Structure 1
Amino acid sequence: MKIKFWGVRGSIATPGPNTVKYGGNTTCIEIRTNDNDLIILDAGTGIHALAQNLLKEMPVQAHIFITHTHWDHIQGLPFFIPIFIPNNQIKIYGGVDPVTNETINRALSVQLQYSFFPIREAQLNARIEYATVKPGVPVNVGSATITPIVLSHPVLNFGYRIDCDGQSAFFTGDYEPQQNIYDPEDDEFTEFQAFVDAKWNEVILAMKDVDALIVDSSYTSEEYASKQGWGHGTYDSGIKLATAANAKKLFFTHHEPTRTDESLDAIYQDLLKNNPAVNCELLLAQEGVEILL
């Protein structure tokens, strides 16, 4: 299995001289099986560069798994060049929003409305299909099995586990591990804590023994104190997940948009210094870097 990061930034694209090393594009991850099946996780602005790279291997069959439909994870879809080229086959996977009851096809169609984009959906030349994913129900793409799990975020958000060729990876999308919203003295505390613990165990089981764990780590623990409930994790929560799941490599991603290369370097050095006993390899996700598992 090969993994390549095309976008590792959270919330909004941040091009410029201060984000050259780690990249300024929003979330997009390419996964290739040994048979060269193409799996894409999320369609942030990073998918545009991926599309340019795919032009040399037309026609393509691409399977795009959307974790959730916040802008920074879907805004690159209209700029994914293969959707305009005949003989390409693009399949987009995602959930049914429990609030709006909208399926994943809305992620593209709403962006191709007259007011927002110069090209209509009817003008796309590729064969485009949509598929609804459900928690715990595996999806097969060639030799790969992709298993979704619902993770905590202020909109329906799937984490995806990918198993193929004897390797495994898990991507959280945007994920804030659930906290007990009650104080210990509240009557509801014990019951809600049982729910939190059960969900934690479910998440750890979904990630168990993966070769690569890619987690939302937008904040430091100090920053998280004022951002609880925003739907994002911390570097420490990522390490806690990786340790409990026995992951081999941990990639921190969804870098906070104001985070410069210099500040990310400093955070990374602190992580290595303060976590010498962690058994998994700690890495910052970096745009353009390819990993062979």
Structure 2
Amino acid sequence: MKLIFRGVRGSIPTPGPGTVKYGGNTTCIEIRTASNELIILDAGTGIHALAQRLNPRETVNAHIFITHTHWDHIQGLPFFMPIFMPNNLINIYGGIDPVTNEGIQRSMGVQLQYSFFPIREAELKAKLNYHTLLPGKTVSVGEARITPTLLNHPVLNFGYRIDCDGQSLFFTGDYEPVYNIYSPEDPDHDEYQSYVEAKLAEVAQAMSDVDALIVDASYTDEEYRSKQGWGHGTYRSALSMAAQAHAKKLFLTHHDPCRSDRQLDRIHQQLQQENRDAPFDILMAREGIEYTL
């Protein structure tokens, strides 16, 4: 498998001179299997850049897996140019929203209302297929097997494991590891702690022994103190996940929109220095860089 980051930023696009190295587009990852199946993880603004790299004379058969429907992970869908071209097939996968009880098709239907976009879904030329996913139920794309795992975020969020060509990766989407909301003296503390430990063990099992672990690492420890419960992880929690999962490579992504290239360089250097003996590579996700697993 090959992976290319097309968007690595969280919350809002951040174009400008301070984000040239790592990129300013929101979340999108392009996966190519050995048989050239196109699998896309999330459809932030980076999916527009991905579309620009496709040959317009070739038919596109894309499989887009949405982790969750927060704006920065779906806002590029209406600008994915293959949806406007006949003969293309676009498969969109996601979970059921527990609030609306609707599937992933709702995200496209809402975005393409006239209030928000000038072109209706009925006017698109490509064929769109929507697929509802359930936690732990594997689906296949060619030789690739994709398994969703329910992860902690303020809206339903799937992490995705992809196994193909003898390799594997796991992408968390937006993820804050669960923590005990009760103080030790609270009578509910011990029972809830058992749930926390079971959930963390389930997540570690889902991402075990992957060649690449791609993790939401939005905050430093200091920043997290005032943002606990916002649904995002830290650099420290990402390192802990990689160690528990026995991952070979750790990619840190969902960079905070206020974080400049210089700041990311400094954080990366510090993490490498402090974790020289880590049994995995520590990398900052960068737009446009291709990695072969």
| TM bracket, shorter-chain basis | over 0.9
Inter-partner Cα distance in structure 2 for 1:82 and 1:133: 23
Aligned position for 1:63: 63
**Aligned: 1:126 with 2:135:** no
Aligned position for 2:288: 288
**Aligned: 1:44 with 2:50:** no
Inter-partner Cα distance in structure 1 for 2:57 and 2:246: 37
Deviation per CA, 1:93-114: give whole Å up to 9, x if none.
0000111112100111101001
Q: How many matched pairs?
A: 293
* Partners of 1:55 and 1:82 within 8 A in 2: no
Q: CA RMSD in A?
A: 0.6
Aligned position for 2:177: 177
Aligned position for 1:139: 139
* Partners of 1:214 and 1:253 within 8 A in 2: yes
Aligned position for 1:107: 107
Inter-partner Cα distance in structure 1 for 2:229 and 2:26: 21
Inter-partner Cα distance in structure 1 for 2:139 and 2:172: 17
CA apart distance, 1:50 = 0.4
Inter-partner Cα distance in structure 1 for 2:57 and 2:72: 27
Aligned position for 1:258: 258
CA apart distance, 1:56 = 4.1
Deviation per CA, 1:10-52: give whole Å up to 9, x if none.
0000000000000000000000110000100000000001011
**Aligned: 1:150 with 2:150:** yes
Deviation per CA, 1:160-200: give whole Å up to 9, x if none.
00000000000000000000000001000000000000000
Aligned position for 1:166: 166
Inter-partner Cα distance in structure 2 for 1:230 and 1:120: 33
CA apart distance, 1:55 = 3.1
Inter-partner Cα distance in structure 2 for 1:138 and 1:281: 28
Aligned position for 1:31: 31
Aligned position for 2:90: 90
Inter-partner Cα distance in structure 1 for 2:287 and 2:234: 20
CA apart distance, 1:57 = 5.5
* Partners of 1:51 and 1:82 within 8 A in 2: yes
Deviation per CA, 1:70-95: give whole Å up to 9, x if none.
00000000000000000000000000
Aligned position for 1:246: 246
Aligned position for 1:16: 16
Code of the residue aligned with 1:85 in structure 2: it is M
Inter-partner Cα distance in structure 2 for 1:281 and 1:57: 38
Q: Normalized against structure 1, the TM-score is what? A: 0.99
CA apart distance, 1:54 = 1.3
Aligned position for 1:222: 222
Distance change (3 Å), C-alpha of 1:174 and 1:134 = same
* Partners of 1:251 and 1:283 within 8 A in 2: yes
Identical positions, percent: 68
Unaligned 5+ runs, structure 1: none
Deviation per CA, 1:242-291: give whole Å up to 9, x if none.
00000000000000000000000000011011111211000000000010
Aligned position for 1:278: 278
CA apart distance, 1:125 = 0.4
Code of the residue aligned with 1:21 in structure 2: it is K
* Partners of 1:11 and 1:72 within 8 A in 2: yes
1:181 is paired with a residue of what secondary structure? coil
Inter-partner Cα distance in structure 2 for 1:227 and 1:57: 47
Inter-partner Cα distance in structure 1 for 2:9 and 2:218: 9
